[in-house]
Amino acid sequence: MGFHADIIDFGKGQPSLSLLPVAAWRTATGDCLARGDAGLLQYGADEGDVGFRDSLAQFLSRRYAMPVTATELVVSAGASQALDLVCTRFTRPGDTIFVEEPTYFLALDIFRDHGLRVVGIPIDEDGIRVDALQDALVHHRPALLYTIPSFQNPSGTTMSAARREQLMAVSRTHDLLIVADEVYQLLEFDTAPPSPLATYAHSARVLSLGSFSKICAPGLRLGWMQGAPGVLHTLTQSGVVQSGGGLNPFVSGAMCRMIDLGLADTVLDALRGVYAERSAVLCRAMRELLPAVTFVEPTGGYFVWAQLPAAQSAAELLPMAKAGGVAFHPGARFSRGDGFAQQMRLSFAYYDVPELEEGVRRLAQVLAG
Ligand SMILES: Cc1ncc(COP(=O)(O)O)c(C=O)c1O
């Protein structure tokens, strides 16, 4: 088998090293440097280089199948940094914000850093429950709502088109800023999810966060924010953005070449193929070897959100799983309260087929006790 020494950690929500596009990146950076454009090594514009934002706008117009212009886009150093910036510029310590329940656990840590009070709104198979949102709005006046509309982390759920419209209607009625973390939007296996919430960015009710972490490489620390001019202006007036001369000018320049040479599309399409296969392998192995564990097979993204049998606690299972050479993220990590004790999040992004199968075999042994 050959995997005895290591833990197969399904908690790792990142691509395997073998998926990172070293050759394409060498081409793109080499191309930039060969042109001798010293401007890329200079402080940049607050909103990011207009050439890059033009190329990004073309890439997104194509990929989102909707018109996107450079004026709607500001460069970020990834969705995490963008989220931190949003908190800095749109909230004050002690403010209340709404998140989905469950939600991305590290976003909860960013909100904690800003001293925010976080209220969870439940989701169902169509995404955030708008009825529960309306109830919560009776009691709270949140500074913003944080949502992951497509292939949600951790649940894999995609918000339906109808739910997106209902959410926008509530946002208009209550003057609620929606921060849409759309980092998985382009990672469908076969069928594209409904249009991103970025569709509504011009309305000043939605700020959409995108990232090259999931569709190219996380180490680039490059992403974008899509919003209305007033919202983007508030963000670019940040001290960090002003003092730093925008974010990541060199990496943006190289990504501009990646897009213009067609390499960004090639990399993304290859990743989608690999993740589709890995997801199918993981789900097949789980159906065969873990018949008492229930889950909905994902149609994109990185994650399987699985439920353990008979009131078994994922947190209590984890030490035994680690002793058996396998790990995962217990569901409670993704909750504001003490929800999702029976859930576990398994990512299929990091491991190749044999390790995925071996990891499930180990989990089956642990569950068999
Ligand atoms: C929902 C979500 N948002 C943001 C991130 C981090 O994105 P970035 O690398 O662009 O900061 C992740 C990574 O796991 C994620 O799942």
Establish whether domains 8-16+265-368 and 22-261 are of one fold: no
- Ligand 1 atom nearest the C-alpha of 218 is 9
Where are the domains positioned within the chain?
Answer: 8-16+265-368, 22-261
Range list of H helices, the chain: 22-34, 50-64, 79-90, 105-113, 130-139, 161-174, 229-236, 239-244, 249-260, 263-289, 314-323, 353-368
| Cα 85 to averaged position of ligand 1 atoms, centre (Å) | 14
Of 154, 156, 138, 157, whose CA–CA distance to 98 is shortest?
A: 138
| Cα 324 to averaged position of ligand 1 atoms, centre (Å) | 29
283, 285, 286, 289 alpha-carbon torsion, rounded to 10°:
160
Going by pLDDT thresholds of 50, 70 and 90, the confidence category of residue 338 is confident
Q: What is the pLDDT of residues 76-112, one digit of tens each?
A: 999 999 999 999 999 999 999 999 999 999 999 999 9
Q: Which of 14, 75, 80 to mutate to test the pocket of ligand 1 (most atoms within 8 A of CB)?
A: 80
The whole-number pLDDT of residue 369 equals 83
Strands (DSSP E) along 129-228, which ranges? 145-147, 178-181, 206-211, 223-226
CATH architecture of structural domain 22-261: 3-Layer(aba) Sandwich (3.40)
For the domain spanning 8-16+265-368, the CATH number is: 3.90.1150.10
Q: What is the pLDDT of residues 210-257, one digit of tens each?
A: 999 999 999 999 999 999 999 999 999 999 999 999 999 999 999 999
The whole-number pLDDT of residue 2 equals 46
Q: What is the mean pLDDT of residues 319-332?
A: 97
For ligand 1, atom 13: residue with the closest CA: 13
At residue 7, φ and ψ (nearest 5 deg) are -85, 135
- Ligand 1 atom nearest the C-alpha of 76 is 10
d(CA 21, CA 213) in angstroms, rounded, equals: 12
Q: What is the mean pLDDT of residues 190-201?
A: 97
Q: What is the mean pLDDT of residues 25-43?
A: 94
The whole-number pLDDT of residue 4 equals 46
Which residues, other chains included, contact 96 with Cβ-Cβ below 8 Å and sequence gap of 6+?
Answer: 116, 117, 118, 119, 140, 141, 142, 143
Going by pLDDT thresholds of 50, 70 and 90, the confidence category of residue 310 is confident
- Ligand 1 atom nearest the C-alpha of 80 is 11
| Cα 39 to averaged position of ligand 1 atoms, centre (Å) | 29
Contact, 335 vs 102, CB < 8 A?
Answer: yes
| Cα 342 to averaged position of ligand 1 atoms, centre (Å) | 24
d(CA 166, CA 127) in angstroms, rounded, equals: 11
| Cα 194 to averaged position of ligand 1 atoms, centre (Å) | 20
Judging by DSSP bridges, how do beta strands 117-124 and 303-307 pair with one another?
unpaired
Q: pTM to 2 decimals? A: 0.97
For residue 198 the two structure tokens come to 């970025």
Going by pLDDT thresholds of 50, 70 and 90, the confidence category of residue 336 is confident
Residue 16 has pLDDT above 80, yes or no: yes
Which residues, other chains included, contact 344 with Cβ-Cβ below 8 Å and sequence gap of 6+?
Answer: 10, 305, 306, 308, 314, 317, 328, 329, 330, 331
Q: What is the pLDDT of residues 44-63, one digit of tens each?
A: 999 999 999 999 999 999 99
For ligand 1, atom 14: residue with the closest CA: 13
| Cα 104 to averaged position of ligand 1 atoms, centre (Å) | 8
Q: Who lines ligand 1 at CB under 6 A?
A: 13, 78-80, 104, 148, 153, 181, 183, 211, 213, 218, 223
